[in-house]
Amino acid sequence: MSKSIKIGTRDSELALWQANTVKALLEEKGFAAELVLIKSEGDLDLTTPLYAMGVQGVFTRSLDIALLNGRIDIAVHSMKDVPTQLPKGIAQAAILKRASHTDILVYNGDPSFLNDFAGTALIATSSIRRKAQWLHRYPHHSIENLRGNVNTRLRKVAESNWNGAVFAAAGLERIHLRPKNSIDLDWMLPAPAQGAIMVVCGEADTYCREALGQLNDRATEIATKVERDFLKELMGGCSTPISGLATVVNNCIQFKGSILSLDGKEKAEIEISSDTGDFEILGAKAAAAIIANGGKSIAESIKNAGK
């Protein structure tokens, strides 16, 4: 007998878009589904920088608890927010086809300041990864903290004296909020799994696992596993400036990864390619290579800074 699958989601516009996308995909496959709204700590606290909240999975924990308690059957997450180690009892059930992985700058006024690498500017982001990469490229710029959902952050940028703020392209494009005064930051390496959506359910829930398996995009699953394995091996999370991007072309995976010091002054990077048959070991292999080529001291300095 079929049941209506309860989809847990945060109530931001972007989270609802993601949940409704999963709902529509399930209904296309003949499964009944409904949304259940859950508040997260990350939504309730709009002032503390993400890296100061002292927890991985700040945007996923409330949904995980609701899932384990049986309030919902599945949860929909921006994959880059999901800790590399899922809670016991919860399983990855589907990765949707990836949207843009790119970071963008929403700027105020004239963006020509980006061509002056010795100049000063004020840039907003709460992401340690974006901050480190930005300061590596623009060492004389200052970084302001920026929190809130995408609507709130866009409003804050418009009302500020900032030169600009960094956003994920996918988040703004999905809900048709990308402004004209924005440019792609092609030089900025994204967070692992940026632009991808993960759907999870209970490990023992064969009904939901079977239903969601029909929504899985294999190429995105492979690419994001490599990226997240790289992150996991380098002890990464929201509070570490670790970036990674894997692209799958035919039977080949190309991976680029980096780790920076918190102030952006030190950087180690890796570029590696392999056959798709090696995707389960490629992320760890890339992490080992970057540790051996300058990444070890950077990783240790980040670890010590958090003590």
Determine contact, residues 282/252, Cβ cutoff 8 Å: no
User: Is 103-184 CATH 3.40.190.10?
Assistant: yes
pLDDT of residue 220: 97
Contact between 170 and 134 (Cβ < 8 Å): no
Q: What is the pLDDT of residue 41?
A: 56
CATH class of the 5-96+195-216 domain in this structure: alpha beta
116 catalytic? Reply is: no
C-alpha–C-alpha distance, residues 84 and 74, integer Å: 18
Residue extents of the structural domains in the chain: 5-96+195-216, 103-184, 228-305
* C-alpha torsion angle, residues 51, 53, 59, 62 (rounded to 10): 160
pTM value surpassing 0.95: no
pLDDT tens sequence across 240-285: 899 999 999 989 999 999 999 999 999 999 999 999 999 999 999 9
Choose, from 64, 81, 103, 229, the residue flagged as catalytic: 81
Closest CA to 15 of 175, 165, 157: 175
Mean pLDDT over 209-216 rounds to: 98
For the stretch 144-177, pLDDT in tens is 999 888 899 999 999 999 999 999 999 999 999 9
Listed in sequence order, the DSSP H helices in the chain are 13-28, 41-44, 61-68, 128-137, 150-159, 169-174, 206-213, 218-233, 279-290, 296-305
Domains 5-96+195-216 and 103-184 share a fold: yes
The architecture of the domain spanning 228-305 is 2-Layer Sandwich (3.30)
Q: Three-state SS for 145? A: coil
Q: What is the pLDDT of residue 187?
A: 97
Is 52 strand, coil or helix? helix
pLDDT in tens, 74-114: 999 999 989 898 989 999 999 999 999 999 999 999 999 99
